[in-house]
Amino acid sequence: MSDNSRSGAKGPMAVELEEGRKYAFCTCGASRSQPFCDGSHQGTSMSPHRFTAEKSGTANLCVCKKTGKMPYCDGSHGKPER
């Protein structure tokens, strides 16, 4: 994650993913379609994290933008800042 990104919110967002479908995950935090990219990063050096869902079902995607397992939440939102 870039130091220029903003947090979209604290904690994960549960979303329904479809196996094999491609998604663009927001990395800048400015998207109004969190946790997905809506192009709000245009004009910056930021770009979305593109991924393909490995399975269908509910997934907890990171909205705080601190995860080490992008785009999935790893609980980093609950860890103290360093």
Residue 82 falls within a domain, yes or no? no
pLDDT tens digit sequence for 56-81: 999 999 998 889 999 999 988 877 66
| Full residue range of the structural domain in which residue 35 is found | 1-77
Asked if 70 contacts 26 with a C-beta cutoff of 8 angstroms, the reply is no
DSSP alpha helix (H) spans, the chain: none
Number of domains in the chain: 1
Instruction: Note whether residue 69 is domain-resident.
Output: yes
The model's pLDDT over 14-67, given as tens digits with 9 standing for 90+, comes to: 999 999 999 999 999 899 999 999 999 999 999 999 999 999 999 999 998 889
Task: Collapse the DSSP code of 15 into the 3-class scheme (helix H, G, I; strand E, B; otherwise coil) and give the result.
Answer: strand
| Predicted confidence band of residue 3 (pLDDT cuts 50, 70, 90) | very low
- Whether residue 21 lies inside any domain: the answer is yes
Task: Report if residue 44 sits inside a domain.
Answer: yes
C-alpha–C-alpha distance, residues 68 and 55, integer Å: 20
Could you tell me if residue 30 is inside a domain? Answer: yes
Are the CB atoms for 71 and 49 separated by under 8 Å?
Answer: yes
Asked if residue 61 is part of any domain, the answer here is yes
For position 79, what pLDDT does the model report? 72
